[in-house]
Amino acid sequence: MSKTLLVVHHTPSPFCQAMFEAVLAGATDPQIEGVEVVRRAALEVSASDMLAADGYVLGTPANLGYISGALKHAFDVCYYPILDSTRGRPYGLYLHGNEGTEGAERAVQSITTGLGWVKAADYVAISGKPGKPDLEACWELGATVAAQLMG
């Protein structure tokens, strides 16, 4: 039976878009079999989307020392409906910021600890224009989380 990787992202700029596309490319690499990759904008994702997935990649800019309001909204809406039903599932995170992403990293660590999700790869945090190694790290992130879902 195929598994589902859900990419929940807030993508407000070309740099964030480049990271998002690199994550998707890694997650959909032909070597990864039996994993369907579903993408949802953070302002649109539902608890049903979250429950239907087997693993997650979260993507957001750092805003005002925290995750974007959009990703915060996703968890505001979904947190309690999925609590205890998604425990143990793997997840990854990519962040884009220009002034420091630590607050956003801490926020995701705290939210995912509450949910019982398991960090499947190092967080990818990028400042400024993403270079080739940065986009490769995003690719690796997508591939790593997707590979964990392979039978």
Ligand X SMILES: Cc1cc2nc3c(=O)[nH]c(=O)nc-3n(C[C@H](O)[C@H](O)[C@H](O)COP(=O)(O)O)c2cc1C
**Token pair of 20 as six digits:** 């998002």
**Per rule CB under 6 A, is residue 101 in the interface with ligand X?**
yes
Query: From CA 23, how far away is CA 93, in angstroms rounded?
Result: 10
Cβ neighbours of 80 (radius 10 Å) = 10
Cβ at position 17, least distance to ligand X in Å: 9
Burial of 87 (0-12, 13-18, 19+ CB in 10 A): exposed
Cβ at position 71, least distance to ligand X in Å: 12
Residue from the set 81, 100, 114, 131 that interacts with ligand X by CB under 6 A: 100
- For ligand X, the closer of residues 19 and 82 by Cβ is 19
Sign of CA dihedral 96, 25, 118, 56: positive
Cβ at position 13, least distance to ligand X in Å: 3
Cβ at position 66, least distance to ligand X in Å: 7
> Contact region for ligand X (CB under 6 A) — 35-43, 72-80, 95-103, 134-142?
95-103
- In the shown chain, the binding pattern of residues 33 to 62 toward ligand X, with x for contact by CB under 6 A and - for none, equals ----------------------------xx
**Per rule CB under 6 A, is residue 11 in the interface with ligand X?**
no
Beta strands in the chain (DSSP E): 3-9, 35-41, 55-63, 66-67, 90-97, 118-119, 124-127
Q: What is the dihedral of CA 126, 132, 136, 142, to 10 degrees?
A: 60
**Per rule CB under 6 A, is residue 15 in the interface with ligand X?**
yes
Residues that bind ligand X (CB under 6 A): 13, 15-16, 61-65, 96-101
